[in-house]
Amino acid sequence: MMLGVLTVDAGHVTLTAAGRSWESADILEAKRVFAGLALKHAPLVKTIDHALKQSKSQELHGELFLDLLRGRHTDEEARQQFHIAVSWGRYGELFDYDADDDTLTLDEANKG
C-alpha cells in the first residue's frame, strides 16, 4: 500500500496500474518502476537519493541518516527504517551501501 502498488477494500486486494506495471515488467524495467515508486512514496529513499546527488563525492555515511531518524524514533526504529530504505534503494539501483564502511554511494545506474 505504501508504494501505491495495491489497494485493499473490505479484505479484497487489487493491484493498481503501477502495481500491474511493476508485476508484468522484466527485471530491469521492474527495478526502474520500483525506483520511481520508492522515490515518490518513501521520503527517506528520496532524501538519501537527493543527498547523494548533491554530494560532490556522491558518497555519504549512513550514520548521518540514522542520526536524523533518531531525532523522532527510537534507535531500533531508526535502524529498521534505514535498513528498509537501503534495501529499497539498492533494489531500485538508486544507491549502494557498504555496511563495513557505513558508506552510501550513488549507484552507477542512477548517475546522471
The pTM (predicted TM-score) of the whole model is 0.90
Residue 104: is its pLDDT beyond 90?
yes
> What tens digit of pLDDT does each residue of 63-95 get?
999 999 999 999 999 999 999 999 999 999 999
How far apart CA 2 and CA 7 sit, in angstroms, is 10
Query: Measured between alpha carbons, how far apart are the two ends of the chain, in Å?
Result: 30
Give the pLDDT band of residue 1 (cuts 50, 70, 90).
low
How far apart CA 48 and CA 55 sit, in angstroms, is 10
Residue 112: is its pLDDT beyond 80?
no
How far apart CA 54 and CA 67 sit, in angstroms, is 19
